[in-house]
Amino acid sequence: MQLGTVTYNIAKDWDLPTIIKTLGALGYEGVELRTTHAHGVEVGLNAGQRAEVRKRFEDSPVQLAGLGSAFEYQAVDPAVVRKNVEGTKEYVLLAHDVGSPGVKVRPNGIPAGANLDQTLRQIGRALHEVGEHASGFGVEIRVEVHGAVTSELRNLAKIIEYADHPNVYVCWNSNPSDVVDGSIKETFALVAPKIREVHLRDLFDAQYPWRELFALLAGQQYDGFTLAEIPESRDPERVLRYFRALWTAYQPKVEADGR
């Protein structure tokens, strides 16, 4: 598996050249660019600017691991859902143009008074539409395990079931609610085949079974990105160095025969 970071929040104030230069120097292999942050990789870029972003990554050791959007589909108002669906489609085109393999979207809880199953089904239907659209551009849709109620893995798994599309994947988010009796094995299994991206919180948090997470990922030969999603710091480069050291220490040991 590969190490990267999201630009929420540790690198939110870095422009794109700074992101690429700094992460490359620190030994990070990729980055997920979160929308609205200083890097400026947004749908307003013209064709030439999009080509420039693609070339910057192609000419560097740092990969564009994905684009991180905040589009969500649980609203009671159909017009709001439609606006988010169409916004996602615009972001998919941006991803295609700049060379991003995926776009992260999210559920963000259940509206007050809404029926749980109906809302999960609604989210799933929207994901089916954007997943189908994105497949035509070679871009994956990655659903972050996010939001009150919707971050519970049994509910997220139901959303993926309702989406019913091979191009709709899961972004594992390393939430405290993943943990059952000190383990994530049970919740991980609910979405394991669909995990395409992983967000990591602070690795010093002893309440989360990081070694187990990395072992489970390795057990299914996961070779995608595990991305630091950690708070900003007055000394971000130092924090990212420590994060990389912990990440390396947590990796499962491989025996001489490859097991």
Quote the tokens at residue 245: 């050291």
Query: φ and ψ at 183, to 5 degrees?
Result: -130, 155
Among residues 151, 17, 135, 127, the alpha carbon closest in space to that of 72 is found at: 127
Burial class (CB in 10 A: 0-12, 13-18, 19+), 230: buried
pTM higher than 0.85, yes or no? Answer: yes
pLDDT of the chain, 259 residues: tens digit per residue: 999 999 999 999 999 999 999 999 999 999 999 999 999 999 999 999 999 999 999 999 999 999 999 999 999 999 999 999 999 999 999 999 999 999 999 999 999 999 999 999 999 999 999 999 999 999 999 999 999 999 999 999 999 999 999 999 999 999 999 999 999 999 999 999 999 999 999 999 999 999 999 999 999 999 999 999 999 999 999 999 999 999 999 999 754 444 4
Distance, in Å, from the CA atom of 17 to the CA atom of 19, rounded to the nearest integer, reads 5
Quote the tokens at residue 208: 């989360």
Element (H, E) at 215: helix 210-219
Distances (CA, A) of 48 to 53, 134, 142, 258: 9, 22, 27, 46
User: Which residue bears the tokens 């509910």?
Assistant: 155
